[in-house]
Structure 1
Amino acid sequence: MSDDEIEELRQRFLDEMGDDFVPDEVSPGSFGCHEALHMADFLMESVDRSLLGHPAVVQNPAWFELAYKAHQALFQLYQDIGIAHLEADDDEPPPEGAGTP
């Protein structure tokens, strides 16, 4: 799939979300963004435990390569979401009364 086709698919997903899509609820720093971060970690760990170590996958070079690439892609997704999420948290002022005895 080309980059243009991937973007077309993303736009179609956005269109299908319609009014259910509220950017502030999923932007970096939000609970929705944290949820995506958690799912990237969960799926990365699942690929690691359930596929990379599975004998059927390990014995087949093509399958192992695909599982490895899936793990690496999920790791990169986790890192990218995490960086954006933490940077957004740094931009937020501390809650009122935070740090006062």
Structure 2
Amino acid sequence: MPDTIEPVEAERFAPGTYGCHEALHMAHVLAELVDDRLCGHPAVRLVPEWKALADQAATALQDLYQAIGARHLDT
């Protein structure tokens, strides 16, 4: 995916818009899925390195959710 955002996209997905709310929602859904389904998976729990990486992914998604929410709800 390109890193540049077209002006139309910027308007549609800026904090405070429904488009931004979609990103907030998806960050929440994915954080829950990673935490529930991946971090708790027996194969992942058996290998400490995998568990640490899965926990990192879950934490990163939770941090993303909080960052989007703070900016989105501040507008």
One-letter amino acid of the structure 2 residue matched with residue 69 of structure 1: Q
Alignment-mate amino acid for residue 78 of structure 1: Y
**Cα distance in 1, alignment partners of residues 15 and 33 from structure 2:** 24
CA RMSD in angstroms, aligned pairs only = 1.7
4+ aligned runs moved over 4 Å, structure 1: none
Q: Which has the higher contact order (CA 8 A, sep 6+)?
A: 2
> How many residue pairs align between the two structures?
75
Largest Rg, 1 or 2: 1
Deviation per CA, 1:9-57: give whole Å up to 9, x if none: xxx6134x657x5211000000110000000000000001111110000
TM-score computed with the length of structure 1 as normaliser: 0.68
**Structure 1 regions of 5+ residues with no counterpart?**
1-11, 89-101
Structure 2 SS opposite 1:13? coil
Listed as ranges, the gaps of 5+ residues in structure 2 are none
**1:77 aligned residue:** 64
Name the aligned partner's letter for residue 32 of structure 2: E
TM-score, normalised to structure 2's length? Answer: 0.91
1:59 counterpart residue number: 46
Q: Identity percentage over the alignment?
A: 47
- The aligned residue for residue 33 of structure 2 is 46
2:3 match: secondary structure = helix
